[in-house]
Structure 1
Amino acid sequence: MNKFFIMVGHTFMNRVKTKSFLITTLVSLILITALSNIQTIIEAFSDGEEGDKIALISDNEEWASTLVDTIAVNDSLTLERVDQSLEKAKQAVKEGTYESVVKITTGENGLPEATYFAEQIASTENSEPIKQALQQIKVGIATEEAGVDQATLQQISSPVTFNTIALEESAKSEEELAQTRGLVYVMLFLLYMSVIMYGSMIATEVATEKSSRVMEILISSVSPVSQMFAKIIGIALVGILQFSLILLVGYLGIQQGGEGSIMEGFGLSDIQGSIIAFAILFFILGYMLYATLAATLGSLVSRLEDAQQMISPMVYLILAAFFISIFGLNAPDSTFITVTSYIPFFSPLIMFLRVGMLDIPVWEVILSVGVLVGSIALLAWFGARVYSGGVLLYGKSSSFKDIKKAMQLSKKEG
C-alpha cells in the first residue's frame, strides 16, 4: 500500500510541475476573474469617454427633437443636430468629427424615412438604436392619424401577462430552475473538460512510461493494477487542485463582482446544497468511469502519437453526452432524455440534469447511480485485466484487436 501512495504522489507531482499545468491554470484563473467582473472592466475602460457623436440632418423640427430626446437616454450615443449639407456632414465623418450621419426625410405617405451614412456599416451598434427610436416616432404618427390615443397604443404594445405555475407542490419554481440551469451548464463544462484534459493525461502518462521503458522497472516492483489506479487517483488530485482554484476564484469573483458578474446571470449565487451534492457525486462517478476507460486504452499504446487516436472513442462518447445534455436543458422530461440518463457513459451528465431540472423519484436516482457504480466496477475489472497485459505490449498500436492480446498476456502474468 505504501508503494501505491508513492506512485499516486509521483504522478501528482509530475503533472503539477509541468509547464502545461501551470500555464493552463494561470490562464483559466485570469479568464474566470475577467468574466466575473466583465461589467466592471468595461466600465473602467469607458470611464470619462463620451459616447459616439452622430450628426442628424432633418427638416422636421418635431421629429428631430423627439429623436434626440429618445436617444439621449443611451449613454453610448450622442445625437447632434447639424445645420449643414449632407456632403459636408459626410466629410465630417471622414475627418473623424462624427462617427456617422443620419438624414431624416418625409416619405410619400407622410411618414419619416431615414438614411444612415458611416465609414463602415458592418456594426449595427449605433444604427439600430436610431432605427428603433425612429420606428416609435413613425408608429406614434400613424396611430395619431388613425385616431388611436396613446393609452390604447401602450396597451396594445405592452407584453401579455403570462404566469407559469406548477401544480405539483414539490416542483421547482422559475427561480430554482434558473439557478439549477446555471449549475448544469457549469457541470457540463467541467466534466467535459475534465474528460478531455485528464483522460488524455492518463493515456499519455502510460504511453510515456512505456516509450521510455520505465514501465519495465515499475512492473517488477508494483502490480499493473496498482499502477492503473495510482495514475487515475494521482491525476484526479491534479484535477481537484486545478478546479478548486478555478472555483475559488470564480466564487470570489461572484461575491465581489455583484451585478457586474457574468456568473451572477447564470444564477450561481444561491444554489441548494442538495444540488451541489449531486453535482459532486455525478462528477466523481463520471470521472472514475472515463478515467478507467482512458487508462485501459492508454495501456494499449507505447507511442504518444498513438495515444490520442486510441482514446478518440472516449472523446466521442463525452461529446455525445454533452450535446444530448444541451438538448435536454430545454426538454428535460422528454422520453429520449429519460432513457439516456440510464446509459452509463451518459448518465453522469444527463441524470444530473434531470435531478436538477425536475422533481424525479428517488428510486430513479438510486437506479442510475447503481448502474453507474456497477459499470465502473465492471470496467475497472476489465480494465485491470487489459492494463496488466497492455503495459507489456510494445510497438505501433492503433487497433482494438490489441485488447485480445493484452487479455492473453494478462492471463500468462496471472
Structure 2
Amino acid sequence: MKFLLTLLEVNMGKIKTIVKKEIKLKVMTKGFLIGTLLGPIIILLFSFGPAFFIALSEKKPVNLVVVENTGRLQSEFQKVFSDTLENGMPRFRITFMDSLTFQQKQNELFDQLEKGKLKAVVVIPSTIFSSGKAIYYSKSASDIDFISNLKERLSNVVNREKMRQAGVDPLLVERLSTPVKLETRKVQKGSVQKSNVGQVWAMAFVFTMMLYMTSIFYGNAVMRGVLEEKTSRIVEILLSSINAFQLMLGKIIGIGLVGLIQYLFWGLMGIVGFVLVSVSKPEFVKYLQVQP
C-alpha cells in the first residue's frame, strides 16, 4: 500500500526529465554505438562463420594419406570417397601406402601436414575389424566437421568390408537401411500445423539468450547508473526537487528504453539480413546446422 501511495505521488514531468537525461547520456556514448553496431556483426560471425568456412573448404580438393595395413580396404575407400567438387574434380586425393613406407616417410609427411600441403594422415591398423580404432594425424584436431565426416566414411568402409566377409551384400543392406524421416505436427486450439523442431528450438534459444543478456548487461547498467549518481554532486541538486524513488524510477525506465532502442536496431538489422539471405541464397547457408 505504501508503494502504491508513493507511486501516486510521483511527478511524471520530473521523471520524464530524468528519462530523457539517461537516454541522451547512454545513447551518445562510444560504448553504446560500438556495441550496437558490432553486436550483430559478432553474432553473425559466430553463427555463419563456421558454415562459410565449411563451404569454402568444399571447393578445394582434400589431400589425404591412408596407411592401409589390412590389405582389404583400398577398393572400398575409393568407392566411399568418390564424390567430386563442382568443377568435376575429385574432392579427395588419397595416397595409399603401407606401414613400412609410412615409417620411412613419416618426417616428410608430418612436415607436409604442418605446411598445409596435407589435410591428414590416417593410419588403419590390421586390427581395425576387432578394435574399431584408427589413428588420425593432422596439423589441428579442431576441425570437428571434417573429423566427423571422415569418421563416418571410415566406419562405412570398415562395415562394408565386414559385411562382405560375412557373406552379406553391402548394397542390399544399404537399400534396406533407409532412414525414417519424422515430420512433426503441432496440435493447438483444434488445428494442426506443420512444426519445425530446429526452428522452435532456435527461437527459444535466442529469446533465452536475450533475456539472459538483458538481465546481466542492463541490470549492471542500472547499478552503475546508481553508483554514478551517488558519487556525483548532481544528485544533491536532483534530490532537492525530487525524492529517491522518482530518481530510481526514472533511471530504470531510461536505461530500459536504451536497451529497447538497441534491441529494435538489432531486430531491424536481423530482418534486413534475413531478407537478403532469402533473396540471394548464398551457398554456405546449406551448411548451417541447428540441432536441438
* TM-score past 0.5 threshold: yes
Q: Is residue 63 of structure 2 the alignment partner of residue 53 of structure 1?
A: yes
* Inter-partner Cα distance in structure 2 for 1:108 and 1:179: 40
- Higher relative contact order at CA 8 Å, sep ≥6: structure 1 or structure 2? 2
Cα drift, residue 228 of structure 1: 2.6
Aligned to 2:14: 3
The residue type equivalent to 1:182 in the other structure is: A
Match 1:79 to one of 94, 114, 124: 94
Aligned to 2:212: 192
**1:97-130 Cα shifts (integer Å, max 9, x gaps):** 5343335565598x99885462557457555544
Aligned to 2:160: 140
* Inter-partner Cα distance in structure 2 for 1:124 and 1:148: 34
Cα drift, residue 195 of structure 1: 1.8
DSSP 3-state at the match of 2:122: strand
The residue type equivalent to 1:12 in the other structure is: I
Aligned to 1:319: none
DSSP 3-state at the match of 1:25: helix
Q: Judge conservation of contact 2:67–2:102 (CA < 8 Å) in 1.
A: yes
Cα drift, residue 38 of structure 1: 3.0
More strand by share: 2
The residue type equivalent to 1:200 in the other structure is: N
Structure 1 residues 189 and 146: CA distance shift in structure 2, 3 A: same
**1:279-305 Cα shifts (integer Å, max 9, x gaps):** xxxxxxxxxxxxxxxxxxxxxxxxxxx
Deviates more, 1:21-30 or 1:73-82: 73-82
Aligned to 1:68: 78
Q: Judge conservation of contact 2:22–2:255 (CA < 8 Å) in 1.
A: yes
Match 1:226 to one of 246, 260, 270: 246
Aligned to 1:95: 111
Q: Is residue 256 of structure 2 the alignment partner of residue 214 of structure 1?
A: no
* Inter-partner Cα distance in structure 2 for 1:138 and 1:183: 40
**1:118-167 Cα shifts (integer Å, max 9, x gaps):** 25574575555444334323322332343333464125533356566667
**1:339-372 Cα shifts (integer Å, max 9, x gaps):** xxxxxxxxxxxxxxxxxxxxxxxxxxxxxxxxxx
**1:32-63 Cα shifts (integer Å, max 9, x gaps):** 34346436742686586x34411234488873
Q: Judge conservation of contact 2:65–2:120 (CA < 8 Å) in 1.
A: yes
- Equivalent residue runs for 1:205-284 within 5 Å: 205-258=225-278, 260=284
DSSP 3-state at the match of 1:55: strand
The residue type equivalent to 2:102 in the other structure is: L
Structure 1 residues 237 and 74: CA distance shift in structure 2, 3 A: farther
* Inter-partner Cα distance in structure 2 for 1:54 and 1:265: 26
Unaligned segments of structure 1, at least 5 residues: 268-329, 331-414
- Equivalent residue runs for 1:308-387 within 5 Å: none
Q: Percent identity?
A: 24
The residue type equivalent to 2:95 in the other structure is: E
The residue type equivalent to 1:144 in the other structure is: R
TM-score by length of 1: 0.52
* Inter-partner Cα distance in structure 1 for 2:215 and 2:119: 48
Q: Judge conservation of contact 1:100–1:117 (CA < 8 Å) in 2.
A: yes
Q: Judge conservation of contact 2:68–2:124 (CA < 8 Å) in 1.
A: yes
DSSP 3-state at the match of 1:221: coil
The residue type equivalent to 2:162 in the other structure is: A
Structure 1 residues 42 and 162: CA distance shift in structure 2, 3 A: closer
Match 1:118 to one of 104, 112, 137: 137
The residue type equivalent to 1:34 in the other structure is: L
Match 2:179 to one of 128, 152, 159: 159
Cα drift, residue 78 of structure 1: 3.1
Residue-pair matches, total: 265
Aligned to 1:182: 202
* Inter-partner Cα distance in structure 1 for 2:178 and 2:234: 72
**1:295-342 Cα shifts (integer Å, max 9, x gaps):** xxxxxxxxxxxxxxxxxxxxxxxxxxxxxxxxxxx9xxxxxxxxxxxx
Structure 1 residues 29 and 103: CA distance shift in structure 2, 3 A: closer
* Inter-partner Cα distance in structure 2 for 1:200 and 1:153: 59
DSSP 3-state at the match of 1:181: helix
Cα drift, residue 249 of structure 1: 1.7
